[in-house]
Amino acid sequence: MEFHVCTLFPEMIEQGCQTSILGRAMDKGLISIDTTNIRDFSTNKHMKVDDYPYGGGAGMVMQAEPVYAACESAKQKMGGQARVIYLTPQGRVFDQKMAEEFAREDHLVFLCGHYEGIDERVLEEVVTDSVSIGDYVLTGGELPAMVMIDAIARLVPGVLNNDVSADIESFHDDLLEYPQYTRPAVWHDKEVPQVLLSGHHARIEEWRYEKSVERTAKWRPDLLEKHKKNTCIQ
């Protein structure tokens, strides 16, 4: 799967995505993450890409033409058909279901704004999907793009060592994960729950499910309601 990010800060994307699992996925050729620097498409002799907002107000607005040229160039590199995702608090809120939907694409272009945002006219022409990663205000779209790339890339077959389809199934259950333990069996006088040392797989499964339900009830009662609806219990 090919990801392409249009941004004024390509080094942020490059640095942020080359580590750990995403880095290994790139080395293995399972995904690629390329960047286009919007500044390279400035039409201004000082390489400026922003200007004052019409109507006044605080901050600067990114100009339409460099953003347009950067996005068109990125799309061209991907065969001209890719969806263009704009990161904005005004977008649809990103969740696992959206990650699964985007993971079915072969190419994705991300458009990251900075300052007060981007001239609305270019957004109308190039953006196919507006997405928010949550109800808070960030300084730029780069971190949201990286959040999305991380969540989507781990669904690409081979990126994780374990079985991805099993992972998708478990989130569809709308339950939080059960607690995990590793050696040593006793740490700070705390013992690993006995059932996990028993080797009794059916009982372990049952215990984990109970813990998942317990945690979801405590921290995400909204998710537990969804879970109950979908599994038709109680």
Which residue ranges make up the site for ligand 4HQ (CB under 6 A)?
Answer: 87-89, 113-114, 117, 132-134, 136-138, 140-141, 144
Q: Considering beta carbons, is residue 96 or 132 the nearer one to ligand 4HQ?
A: 132
Q: Considering beta carbons, is residue 53 or 140 the nearer one to ligand 4HQ?
A: 140
Distance of closest approach, residue 50 Cβ to ligand 4HQ, in angstroms: 11
Q: Considering beta carbons, is residue 71 or 175 the nearer one to ligand 4HQ?
A: 71
Using CA atoms, how far apart are residues 75 and 82, in angstroms rounded to an integer?
6
Q: Considering beta carbons, is residue 26 or 138 the nearer one to ligand 4HQ?
A: 138
Residues in CB range of 105: below 8 A, 6 or more apart: 1, 82, 83
Q: Considering beta carbons, is residue 12 or 25 the nearer one to ligand 4HQ?
A: 12
Q: Considering beta carbons, is residue 61 or 78 the nearer one to ligand 4HQ?
A: 61
Distance of closest approach, residue 38 Cβ to ligand 4HQ, in angstroms: 12
- Token code pair at residue 109: 């272009």
Q: Considering beta carbons, is residue 137 or 186 the nearer one to ligand 4HQ?
A: 137
Q: Cα 4 to the chain's mean position, in Å? A: 13
Distance of closest approach, residue 68 Cβ to ligand 4HQ, in angstroms: 17
Residue 145: other Cβ atoms inside 10 A: 29
Distance of closest approach, residue 144 Cβ to ligand 4HQ, in angstroms: 4
- Token code pair at residue 222: 């909204």
Distance of closest approach, residue 111 Cβ to ligand 4HQ, in angstroms: 10
Distance of closest approach, residue 126 Cβ to ligand 4HQ, in angstroms: 16
Burial class from Cβ neighbours inside 10 Å (0-12, 13-18, 19+) for residue 60 reads: middle
Distance of closest approach, residue 192 Cβ to ligand 4HQ, in angstroms: 39
CA separation, residue 103 to residues 4, 19, 51 (Å): 14, 20, 36
Q: Which of 15, 67, 62, 64 is nearest to 37 (CA)?
A: 67
Beta strands in the chain (DSSP E): 2-7, 32-37, 50-51, 61-62, 83-93, 107-111, 129-132, 186-187, 190-191
Under 8 Å between Cβ of 175 and 231: no
Residue with tokens 């907002």: 53
